[in-house]
Structure 1
Amino acid sequence: MAGAADSEAARNTERREKHHEADVVVVGAGVFGCAAAYALANQGRSVILLERWMHEPDRIVGELLQPGGVAALRKLGLEHCLEGIDAIPCYGYHILYRGDEVSFSYPQVRPDGEVVVSAGRKKGQEANGSANGHAKEPTRPEGRSFHHGRFIMQLRRACMGHPNISVFETEVTATIKGEHTDAVLGVRTRTKDPATGKKEPDCFFGQLTIIADGYASTFRKELLGTTPVVRSKFYALELIDCPFPPANTGHVVIGDQTLALLYQIGTHETRALIDIPNEHPAAAPSAGGARGYIQNIVLPALPPHVQPSVRAALADGRIPRSMPNSWLPSTKQTRHDGVVVLGDAHNMRHPLTGGGMTVALNDAVLLSSLLSPQEMPSLSDHAAVRGAMATFHWRRKHLTSIINVLAQALYSLFAADDWQLRALQRGCFAYFQRGWTDEPVAMLGGILRRPATLAYHFFSVAFLGIWLNIVDLCGGSVLGVLRLPLALVQAVLILWKACVVFLPVLGTEFL
């Protein structure tokens, strides 16, 4: 039996290396592409993994992996990819809101995955590191933050070391369809000839082609017909030896026109991501552009002990690197036989909450279970693949709907640009101050999968914001009761704004 298995493996390797044929062709060796290739290869599938450029990528997002992503990485057998890259543990969040602050940690989780919800946490409680494997059950989960490129290279090394995967550096240019069918049979590429240095035409064939070519996908429009919505950009700074207690947390800074996310990505490096809305007047060229916005608007809102590191990062005089903050609702993957589009090419959300990699890794876990040889002996059975992908579309929403809606809703609140949103923003911060954080941060971390719970907490925040607004208008004097009619009108407007922010995004997720 062992000899037969070895012979089969050798034949599959020859098919991949010599004839460029496999069970699965994966386009894109990013987070999802590597994870999906590795998961399918672990099931005995023969996999070809294609990547345009195998050098270490240098990106400014994809640097914070939530606990739910760490758990998915563990299920995939890839948890070792977090080691040896100077990854920093992350145990929760710290929010600075107009000079006030609150910290909260991920809630404890029982061995069966149930989240332990406390009666309430005291204001200012800091995240702790009880998720080190030595604490008593239940344990507190741990996220990790790191340099994106180092993590990607670990994933790629894992794939290159797998006996069922062959990795090629080549530029994918088009899909290949049969003469008598519209089913995709593989992809056309251009591969550099080592002898001449010129790119020559090439082809790779598989029973199933998985397109995972990232946020700037060249195949999305053709295969899905969708376009991302971009409302802002993240501009990135790398701060060196920047003090920002409490340690091992993600820091969110909210000011009048300021929304910034800071988290440590190495022993000495801290990433600062500054959100700048499209066409914001304070970021116009006449106002100094992105650098002017950071210096004039963001810098004064940061804590004094952080400001010197930001000034040092700006000292080179260059425009900070940027990435578009995209929202792309998911699409059913049943339109084209022989090919699916997944990862960021398929579904994106605002990176404020750091949920992208958690979604990608959990998608890889779900996809591999639905396409396993036990469930689907042949991936050339297009009807069976369509059925599996229809199941995939709905089953993934237990997690992704929460992460996607949270990302878009929190961005709308934290980047508030009208008085109703600012009332909701204040309600959100007051909600956290009161210690009602366990379930919200568990959903943020990808460890609680109950969409109804998200709706409950969002509208609880809305009603708290309404109450605080009523107290402001009607409190403080005997005559305050005369403002009650105005307060009630404003209450309706705030609730309407909450519905406008939350319900359309939630509805889109469940289409």
Structure 2
Amino acid sequence: MSETMTSSHTYARERRDRYHEADVVVVGAGIFGCAAAYALANQGRSVLLLERWMHEPDRIVGELLQPGGLAALKKLGLGHCVEGIDAIPCYGYNVIYHGEPCAIPYPRLNEKGEVTHAWSGRGTEGEKQQGCGFHHGKFITQLRKACLGHKNITVVETEVVKTIRGEFEDQILGVESRTTVDKEANEKKNDFFFGKLTIVADGYDSKFRKQVLETKPVVKSKFYALELVDTVLPTPLHGHVIIGNAYPILLYQIGTHETRALFDVPQNIPEASVEAGGVRGYIKKHAIPALPASVRPAAEKALADGKIPRSMPNSWLPAVPQTPNGLVVLGDALNMRHPLTGGGMTVAFNDAVLLAELLHPERVPNLDDAKAIRDAMHKLYWRRKNFTSIINTLAQALYSLFAANDRQLRALQMGCFEYFRRGWTDGPAGLLGGIIQRPLVLAYHFFYVAFVAIWMNACNVIGGPLGFWKLPLAILDAVLILWKACIVFLPVIWREGFQ
């Protein structure tokens, strides 16, 4: 490194440490905040990364990284963060439908990095793809260590309380925070951090979202979590989706001895009422009996502590355009989807890659350039839809099918499983894993599933007694099933892909 560059880095660090000034202030050292801070710092930007608590977090989501997210993590130069944390490889999914299993491996890629059977079938040649599962806190700690070790980043443990606006124009100049100076006495001091650009990435429960975007997440259910110790999964090194006489259940390994079990519990269902024993009663009486026999003992043991399992809301929050005035909101603060498909971190890391590309110093030399920032955020909003519209729509649509509560949705659910059972999995698995970024492929497979459901339903109706005379009923069912598929799919893909 030249003497001039060394001097420049020293000066930038002094500005951060002494005067709390940087090119970029990032609020929140979570998944997206760390990734964005690291990516921008790699481009030579001076970055202040602010986090309320730097101790290892203990959360029940953000524990399964899809192959597309792992690829983006490596592009960011953070691939090493999944090493040394007892991460477990994941090679696809095992969908268990009323006790019948169906393996859905991630697709293989050819020498061009493409899924050769994106439209149908399952390929057997090419490079095998994998994701990984891990403890969220261990992974976050690795991301933060990477940021702490970067010469262009200063990490500060402080609680951001509000933004700082310009005196003469509506421009965000940075943030005000409260920093603990004496933990025993709980003594705090006011701090101020200034940047040419402020990135808010304070998570699903963002305190700044409503100030900037005026959007609110839609929550219809929660995931309640158990940590199963030394359980035996039917298909090792795969995520498991359980569909049966309970709402969807997820199982995936997060360590050598630990497996995460997530039980979806919609709001206000009778099975989880106080009279029925609450959430614990629902899990004990309805969810655990739906688990594979090899998993039930570990689940019963984990539930035996008498506590209500920890939970997280399952949120849908479509992204909205922003008009940056020195501040942008990104990560879960901007956009969320149901965590059923484990796509959150994949979206976050791909967003960080795209953000770094659009804010590269060759494109935006000066982050004070308001017009350049507005143009970059406009491009970010529309270009990210190539992958977010797929992952978000897939998450919402599959949840509607897997949590089916009417006749048409149950028919679609059955059609979906039959689709997988016939081996037409490379396209769906590639979409799910963030490998295929073509929304048209998603539309093709979704409506193909709908027509499989219509065919199977018609066979069931006509195949019974007086079958020919039930033809009008089969036709009516076909119309209703197709209509339900449109209701499930089209509003979400329209909102996520075209608005």
TM-score higher than 0.5 = yes
- Tell me which residue corresponds to 1:261: 250
Task: Find the partner of 1:274 among 258, 263, 276.
Answer: 263
Q: Give the counterpart of 1:396 among 384, 399, 402.
A: 384
Tell me how far apart the structure 2 counterparts of residues 495 and 181 of structure 1 sit (CA, whole Å): 53
Give the aligned partner of residue 42 of structure 2.
42
- Read off the aligned partner of 1:93 and give its amino acid letter: Y
Whole-Å separation in 1 of the counterparts to 2:360 and 2:338: 31
Q: Which residue is 2:3 aligned to? A: 3
The answer as to 2:56 corresponding to 1:67 is no
Q: Deviations over 1:236-292 (max 9, x none)?
A: 000000001211100000013331000000000000000000101100111111100
SS in structure 2 opposite 1:325?
strand
- Aligned match for 2:471, one of 464, 484, 498: 484
Q: What is the one-letter code of the residue matched to 2:244? A: G
* Contact 1:182–1:337 (Cα < 8 Å) also in 2: yes
- Listed one character per residue, the Cα deviations across residues 302-359 of structure 1 (whole Å, up to 9, x for unaligned) are 111111001100110000000000000011122x310000000000000000000000
Query: Offset of 1:121 from its aligned partner?
Result: 4.8
Match of 1:454 in 2: 442
Q: Deviations over 1:51-85 (max 9, x none)?
A: 00000000000000000000001100000000000
Q: Which amino acid aligns with 2:54?
A: M
Q: Quick one: which of 349, 352, 356 aligns to 1:364? A: 352
Is 1:349 the counterpart of 2:337 in the alignment? yes
What CA deviation, in whole Å up to 9, does each residue of 1:368-413 have, x standing for no partner?
0000100000011011100000000010111110000000000000
| DSSP 3-state at the match of 1:507 | helix
User: 1:415 aligned to 2:416?
Assistant: no
Q: 3-state DSSP class of the match of 1:41?
A: helix
* Equivalent position of 2:426 in the other structure: 438
Contact 1:69/1:361, CA 8 A, preserved across alignment: yes
State the alpha-carbon separation in 2 of the partners of residues 83 and 318 from structure 1: 33
- Equivalence for 1:428: 416
In the alignment, what sits opposite 2:362? 374
Report the Cα distance in structure 2 between the residues aligned to 1:193 and 1:359, rounded to whole angstroms.
Answer: 36
Report the counterpart of residue 309 of structure 2 in structure 1.
Answer: 320
SS at match of 1:68: helix
Q: Is the 8 A contact 1:248 1:264 kept in 2?
A: yes
Deviations 1:422-474 (A, max 9, x none): 00000000000000000110000000011011001000000110111111100
Given the alignment of the two structures, is residue 307 of structure 1 paired with residue 308 of structure 2, yes or no?
no
Task: State which of 323, 333, 337 in structure 1 corresponds to 2:325.
Answer: 337
> 1-side partners of 2:24 and 2:121: how far apart?
49
**Partner Cα distance (1:415, 1:476) in 2:** 27
Structure 2 residue matching 1:287: 3-state secondary structure? coil
Find the counterpart in structure 1 of residue 54 from structure 2.
54
Query: Which residue pairs with 2:179 in the alignment?
Result: 191
Task: Give the number of equivalent residue pairs.
Answer: 496
1:259, 1:275 within 8 Å by CA — same for their partners in 2? yes
Q: What is the one-letter code of the residue matched to 2:62?
A: G
Amino acid at match of 1:158: A
Q: How does 1:23-172 map to 2 (within 5 A)?
A: 23-117=23-117, 120-121=121-122, 138-172=126-160
Give the Å deviation of 1:156.
0.1
1:134 is matched with none
Judge conservation of contact 1:121–1:434 (CA < 8 Å) in 2: no
Q: In structure 2, the residue corresponding to 1:44 is in which secondary structure? A: coil
Please list, as runs of the form range in 1=range in 2, the aligned pairs for 1:17-28 lying within 5 A after superposition.
Answer: 17-28=17-28
Q: Is the 8 A contact 1:258 1:301 kept in 2?
A: no
Q: Structure 2 CA distance, aligned partners of 1:447 and 1:120?
A: 16
The separation in 1 between residues aligned to 2:196 and 2:66, in whole angstroms, is 33
The CA RMSD measured in Å over matched residues stands at 1.3
Counterparts of 1:237 and 1:161, CA distance in 2: 34
Cα distance in structure 1, aligned partners of 2:242 and 2:96 = 5
| 1-structure distance, mates of 2:276, 2:182 | 49
> What is the match of residue 240 of structure 1?
229
User: Retained in 1: the 8 A contact 2:430–2:436?
Assistant: yes
**Equivalent residue for 1:203, pick from 176, 192, 205:** 192
Give the letter for the 2:444 counterpart.
Y
Q: Is the 8 A contact 2:233 2:294 kept in 1?
A: yes
- Asked whether the 8 Å contact 2:234–2:292 carries over to 1, the reply is no
- The answer to whether the aligner puts 1:227 opposite 2:216 as a matched pair is yes
Q: Letter of the 1:443 partner, please give it.
A: L
Q: 1:133: which partner in 2? A: none
Percent identical among aligned pairs is: 64
Gaps of 5+ in 1: 123-129, 131-136
The letter for the 1-side match of 2:172 is V
Question: In the aligned structure 2, how far is the partner of 1:65 from the partner of 1:500?
Answer: 29
Distance 2:112 2:334 in 1: 31
* Matched residue SS, 2:275: helix
Letter in 1 for 2:233: F
Q: Is the 8 A contact 2:109 2:128 kept in 1?
A: yes
Distance in 2, matches of 1:121 and 1:75, equals 27
SS in 2 for 1:166: strand
- Displacement of 1:197 in angstroms is 4.0
Question: Once structures 1 and 2 are overlaid, which stretch shifts more, 250-259 or 51-60?
Answer: 250-259
Cα distance between partner residues in 1 of 2:467 and 2:491: 36
Q: Distance in 1 between matches of 2:142 and 2:365?
A: 30
User: For the Cα contact (< 8 Å) 2:20–2:192, is it kept in 1?
Assistant: yes
Aligned to 2:203: 214
8 A contact 2:182–2:188 mirrored in 1: no
- Equivalence for 1:465: 453
How far apart, CA to CA, are the structure 2 residues paired with 1:306 and 1:393? 42
Amino acid at match of 1:290: V
1:285 is paired with a residue of what secondary structure? coil
Q: Deviations over 1:154-211 (max 9, x none)?
A: 0000000000000000000000000111110000000011486411111000000000
Instruction: Give unmatched runs, 5+ long, in structure 2.
Output: none
156 and 67 in structure 1: CA distance in 2 versus 1, 3 angstrom threshold: same
| Partners of 2:173 and 2:347 in 1: CA distance | 27
1:138 deviates by: 2.5
TM-score calculated relative to the size of structure 2: 0.98
Letter of the aligned partner of 1:329 in structure 2? P
